[in-house]
Amino acid sequence: MVFENPVIKELLSKVRVLWALRHATSLMAWDTETYMPREGSTERAIASGELSVLSQQLILRPEVIELVEKAEKQEDLNDYEKGVVRVLKRSIKIAKALPPKLVYELAKTSQEAVVVWREARKKNDFNMFKPYLEKIVDLNREAAEYLGYEEHPYDALLDLYEEGLRTRDVDNIFNVLEPGMKKLLDEILSSGAFPREHKLEYIKYDQSAMEKVNLEVLKILGFPLGTRARLDISAHPFTQHMGIKDVRITTRYEGIDFKRTLFSVIHEFGHALYELQIDERLMATPLARGVSLGIHESQSRFWENIIGRSMSFVKAVYPILSKYLDFIKDYDVDDVYTYFNVVKPSLIRVDADEVTYNFHILLRFEIEKNLLTKEIKVEELPEIWSNEMDRLLGVKPKTYSEGVLQDIHWSMGSIGYFPTYTIGNIVAAQIRHHILKDIPDFYEKIEKLEFKEIREYLREKIHKWGSTYEPKELLKRSFGEEINPQYFIDYIKEKYILRKI
Amino acid sequence: MVFENPVIKELLSKVRVLWALRHATSLMAWDTETYMPREGSTERAIASGELSVLSQQLILRPEVIELVEKAEKQEDLNDYEKGVVRVLKRSIKIAKALPPKLVYELAKTSQEAVVVWREARKKNDFNMFKPYLEKIVDLNREAAEYLGYEEHPYDALLDLYEEGLRTRDVDNIFNVLEPGMKKLLDEILSSGAFPREHKLEYIKYDQSAMEKVNLEVLKILGFPLGTRARLDISAHPFTQHMGIKDVRITTRYEGIDFKRTLFSVIHEFGHALYELQIDERLMATPLARGVSLGIHESQSRFWENIIGRSMSFVKAVYPILSKYLDFIKDYDVDDVYTYFNVVKPSLIRVDADEVTYNFHILLRFEIEKNLLTKEIKVEELPEIWSNEMDRLLGVKPKTYSEGVLQDIHWSMGSIGYFPTYTIGNIVAAQIRHHILKDIPDFYEKIEKLEFKEIREYLREKIHKWGSTYEPKELLKRSFGEEINPQYFIDYIKEKYILRKI
């Protein structure tokens, strides 16, 4: 048995309803992006609002708080039981700290801001979005004060998305990453081995053929389609889990540049596999989900970049691509590999390659941190954005839409989310380092489409624990060390300079 | 404004979360039958159980009960406001009356019983299902005592499905319906004008062609596909509403006998239209749903039988059928009409035609009533079933599966549900009588595919009110009379004897 302590067991039975509410709201979120009739959005919004308030009320029930306090004092709790206490204490702390009025204001502002942001991006009108962003920054600043922090107000926000992550940690990461990657990027660009564009980017594909490619790739990766998983279509790809046995991913088909849909599928597969491989004994408990956004992103990036963009994988999927996509016959394995690994300093984060991606995050991290401490103002963002993009990547946006207005996150009220992307990139490279020690024929296995051992490795090291250990502890237990950006630099060097991957 | 009284307004804001929970659980129910990966059922069952207990707790919150009591004493409540009080009082009464242990027992027994029932039906093994049915009858008998009744314990159960319906009402209905329909059935069968089978029943169709027929029929009926509604595929057709602006129906494709899928679509359209035409000002309130199963069924039957099986409709859809179904060229309008209106005393309720259907309900009504008062025992059901089918329709089941084991309802714990089907059939015929007075060219409009005025009529008389008036009052207000089975007999006579429809 995983849970034996009677107080923990009572606590779990009391909070199972919270899991059930999350199950329901996850399904609502999935449905909103996939099958909901257009005008259903009005009632969906009302229902989501009500259920989110209800969740807050249920986590703050006096009997739950008392049980958590009682559980904390129990002796001989096992790691799972300690995990339950940790996760619930954290939820209670956050729910208690934020005044309902602030939560309501933030939800209301974001709801409006997302609509305005879409319009503003379309019209390239920063001034339209400015007052909303200012309000969102103010509300987040207020939230940080309520949540509390030791060193930096941004710590309080980072922790919402990545438990235990501090501003100082992110500073330390970028202090290594920025100079290391800047040097590598210059080298890669001047070597010319990885060109800035590829003909395949401009080739149109047939959607139904591409759907077959995606399904076949998912099958070889080990996605339990139909039994425990689904693939659907949505405007923006995402993963949503209703539970350990019901995890759904989506992709989109733009009809051109097939790697975009292919890599979105592999990326979401990585997220999905994390949820699918959680220990079934944790089902319907607070531990039954990936522990943080950063660790989650490490899984998606591991499959998308470490595996999916490797030469071994290109060799392995080349027959699938040729089987369904007529135009592939004009391109060999090397062409496809080059196409998958174009390196180009560019303006849009979501289109960035793995070499330049983290610079986009650095820019956003610096902006968020400084907005919070009022060192910069929202109105200065377009100029800062332009200057920093130039400094970091040598490109300058010509419009707000391809600059400060490109991401949805701020309009949704999220400040402190972006750094989790870089955490994911680094941890993926770090896992690669360790898996190569434990599975020395890692790349041979990929080439032979043998993913079982790789999936099992990830299950043991990361997935099966769900939220049992906080991110830092999970890494320490599984790999005996903390997050280290050097692994990412080494990986990029090995691949793009030494050309060994 | 629909809701003006401040107590009502406060009450509505307090119970909106119950609407939100129903929104969520409706989506879960829809998803379970359409897109959920198979193994997702375990977690779906846990979540459903938790949310159902939560709903019970939320409706019984002291502040809700106090507000309802306060609201009841308010003067000058308008009809909508009175409706809110009535619906909530009723929910509170039911939730209060049934002890949680009984609710739990019934839910648990049904969950097991459905599985056993499926197996038993497959194996034609009544003894396998018998102990479960006995337990379900006992629990329902107990529930009836807790719920309370004036004349007959069955009253308490009927009321759960059809507010205000009493055993005496159903007795009165069948006292008229049984002899009247028995006589007509004999006449119809001996006349031979409506044969017992038709060649088209054995013709296979192409699913994608039939999907186009269904979509085109839905379009002409006025189904807001994509904007406020969906059509999907499931093992058993159903309608599920997430709200007034999100209503979803399903059908199934058996590949043969195309009227089965066509009429399931028209039937579910009738259910869907009811929810879609509820006054939008009732959105997210306890009034935002069809008032009862019987009134709901009257809407589905109105579209399926009164409209869908009329000669006018056959003439109207014949071009659509010929457009997509190649084999239709061998059959003329009269053939299709005859095919749509085959009359055949048969064993399976769900396959019954409109002439014989209510006999199936009468059988079940008598059994349920007598089981409850212990006048008969579960073990006697196979024999009773056989004798009664013989007496009513002149057919005898050769297996339990085509007799007592055919319906899912009892295994789901539902006793008292069946009579609502007959209520629906009668009210549909009753509405037909009235609509012909108000829209004399009703059938001409059908033939011209002009459904707008018909939809508006139903909106004004039934739909827009949602649950504002209880069923009996709704009929009285809209048609100036109570339910009257004679209208059904008259309709059958006019169609099958006088052959005027």
Model pLDDT for residues B189-215, shown as the tens digit of each residue: 999 899 999 999 999 999 999 999 999
Are A90 and A18 a contacting pair, CB within 8 Å?
no
How far apart are alpha carbons A455 and B110 in whole angstroms? 39
- pLDDT value, residue A49: 92
How far apart are alpha carbons B240 and B230 in whole angstroms? 10
Catalytic residues of A: 268
- pLDDT value, residue A33: 94
Least confident stretch, A374-388, A484-498, B92-106, B238-252: B92-106
- pLDDT value, residue B1: 80
Write out chain A residues lying below 8 Å of B16, CB-based. 46, 50
Across A452-476, average pLDDT: 98
CA–centroid distance for B183 within its chain? 26
Strands A229-233 and A246-251: parallel
Residues 3-32 of A with CB under 8 A from B: 16-17, 19-21, 23-25, 27-28, 31
Write out chain A residues lying below 8 Å of B19, CB-based. 46-47, 50
Shortest CA distance to B87 belongs to which of B391, B388, B467?
Answer: B467
Residue type at position A328: I
How far apart are alpha carbons A263 and A314 in whole angstroms? 12
Are A287 and A88 a contacting pair, CB within 8 Å?
no
Around Cβ B358, how many Cβ atoms within 10 Å? 25
Backbone angles phi, psi at A7, to 5 degrees: -65, -45
- pLDDT value, residue B150: 95
As given in the structure block, the two tokens for residue B228 are 């406020």
Are A269 and A252 a contacting pair, CB within 8 Å?
no
| DSSP H or E run through A275 | helix A259-276
- pLDDT value, residue A11: 98
Are B44 and B28 a contacting pair, CB within 8 Å?
yes
Interchain pair B39, A246: CB under 8 A: yes
Across B388-394, average pLDDT: 97
HSE toward the beta carbon, residue B413, CA cutoff 13 A? 17
pLDDT digit string, tens, across residues A286-323: 999 999 999 999 999 999 999 999 999 999 999 999 99
DSSP-derived secondary structure for B29-72: HHHHHHT--GGGHHHHHHHHHHHHHHHHHHHT-HHHHHHHHHHH
Shortest CA distance to B488 belongs to which of B368, B354, B316, B377?
Answer: B354
How far apart are alpha carbons B316 and B211 in whole angstroms? 18
Interchain pair B246, A37: CB under 8 A: yes
B204 DSSP assignment: B
How far apart are alpha carbons B272 and B239 in whole angstroms? 6
Instruction: State the burial class of residue B212 (Cβ atoms within 10 Å of its Cβ: 0-12, 13-18, 19+).
Output: middle
Q: Where does the pLDDT of residue A43 fall: very low under 50, low under 70, confident under 90, or very high at 90 and above?
A: very high
Write out chain B residues lying below 8 Å of A36, CB-based. 242, 246
Interchain pair B38, A228: CB under 8 A: yes
CA distance A345 to chain B (A): 40
CA–centroid distance for B214 within its chain? 21
Write down the ipTM of this complex.
0.95
Q: Where does the pLDDT of residue A50 fall: very low under 50, low under 70, confident under 90, or very high at 90 and above?
A: very high
Residue A435 to residues A127, A440, A444, A458, A478, Cα–Cα distance (Å): 49, 7, 13, 9, 11
How far apart are alpha carbons A252 and A263 in whole angstroms? 11
Around Cβ B225, how many Cβ atoms within 10 Å? 13
CA distance B58 to chain A (A): 10
| DSSP H or E run through B229 | strand B229-233
Planar angle of CA B115, B413, B102, nearest 5 degrees: 115
Judged by DSSP in three states, B438 sits in helix
Backbone angles phi, psi at A248, to 5 degrees: -125, 135
HSE toward the beta carbon, residue A251, CA cutoff 13 A? 26
- pLDDT value, residue B240: 98
Q: pLDDT at residue B425 above 90?
A: yes
Q: Where does the pLDDT of residue A70 fall: very low under 50, low under 70, confident under 90, or very high at 90 and above?
A: very high
Around Cβ B30, how many Cβ atoms within 10 Å? 26
Residues 227-266 of A with CB under 8 A from B: 227-230, 232, 242-246, 248
pLDDT digit string, tens, across residues B298-353: 999 999 999 999 999 999 999 999 999 999 999 999 999 999 999 999 999 999 99
Across B385-414, average pLDDT: 97
- pLDDT value, residue A111: 87
Backbone angles phi, psi at A493, to 5 degrees: -65, -50
How far apart are alpha carbons A166 and A176 in whole angstroms? 16
Across A244-269, average pLDDT: 98
B439 DSSP assignment: -
As given in the structure block, the two tokens for residue A364 are 């956003």
A54 touches chain B (CB under 8 A): yes
How far apart are alpha carbons A488 and A493 in whole angstroms? 9
Shortest CA distance to B45 belongs to which of B99, B107, B117, B101?
Answer: B107
Across A178-193, average pLDDT: 96
For the entire predicted model, the pTM comes to 0.96
- pLDDT value, residue A328: 98
Across A443-462, average pLDDT: 98
| pLDDT, chain A, mean | 97
Are A406 and A346 a contacting pair, CB within 8 Å?
no
- pLDDT value, residue B111: 87
Across A393-407, average pLDDT: 97
Share of chain A above pLDDT 90, in %: 98
Are B275 and B265 a contacting pair, CB within 8 Å?
no
B395 touches chain A (CB under 8 A): no
Beta strands in A151-278 (DSSP E): 229-233, 239-243, 246-251
How far apart are alpha carbons A459 and A278 in whole angstroms? 7
HSE toward the beta carbon, residue B399, CA cutoff 13 A? 11
Residue with tokens 């070499």: A355
How far apart are alpha carbons B431 and A487 in whole angstroms? 75
Across A478-486, average pLDDT: 98
Write out chain B residues lying below 8 Å of A24, CB-based. 21, 24-25, 27-28, 47, 51
- pLDDT value, residue B383: 97
Are B463 and B277 a contacting pair, CB within 8 Å?
yes
Residue with tokens 């300058």: A396
- DSSP-based helix, strand, coil % in chain B, nearest 5: 65, 5, 30
Within chain A, how many helices (H) and strands (E) appear? 20, 3
- pLDDT value, residue A197: 95
Best B43, B239, B248, B282 member to test A by mutation, with max A CBs in 10 Å, is B43
Interchain pair B246, A50: CB under 8 A: no
- pLDDT value, residue A1: 80
Are A501 and A311 a contacting pair, CB within 8 Å?
yes
Q: Pick B295 or B1 by higher pLDDT.
A: B295
How far apart are alpha carbons A271 and A249 in whole angstroms? 9
Q: Where does the pLDDT of residue A421 fall: very low under 50, low under 70, confident under 90, or very high at 90 and above?
A: very high
Q: Pick B73 or A107 by higher pLDDT.
A: B73
pLDDT digit string, tens, across residues B49-98: 999 999 999 999 999 999 999 999 999 999 999 999 999 999 999 999 99
Write out chain A residues lying below 8 Å of B245, CB-based. 37, 39-40, 42-43
| pLDDT, chain B, mean | 97
How far apart are alpha carbons A96 and A98 in whole angstroms? 6
| DSSP H or E run through A98 | none
How far apart are alpha carbons A333 and B182 in whole angstroms? 77
Q: Where does the pLDDT of residue A129 fall: very low under 50, low under 70, confident under 90, or very high at 90 and above?
A: very high
Q: pLDDT at residue A356 above 90?
A: yes
Around Cβ B328, how many Cβ atoms within 10 Å? 21
- pLDDT value, residue A213: 98
How far apart are alpha carbons B297 and B279 in whole angstroms? 19
Are A200 and A259 a contacting pair, CB within 8 Å?
yes
Within chain B, how many helices (H) and strands (E) appear? 20, 3
Across A40-45, average pLDDT: 94
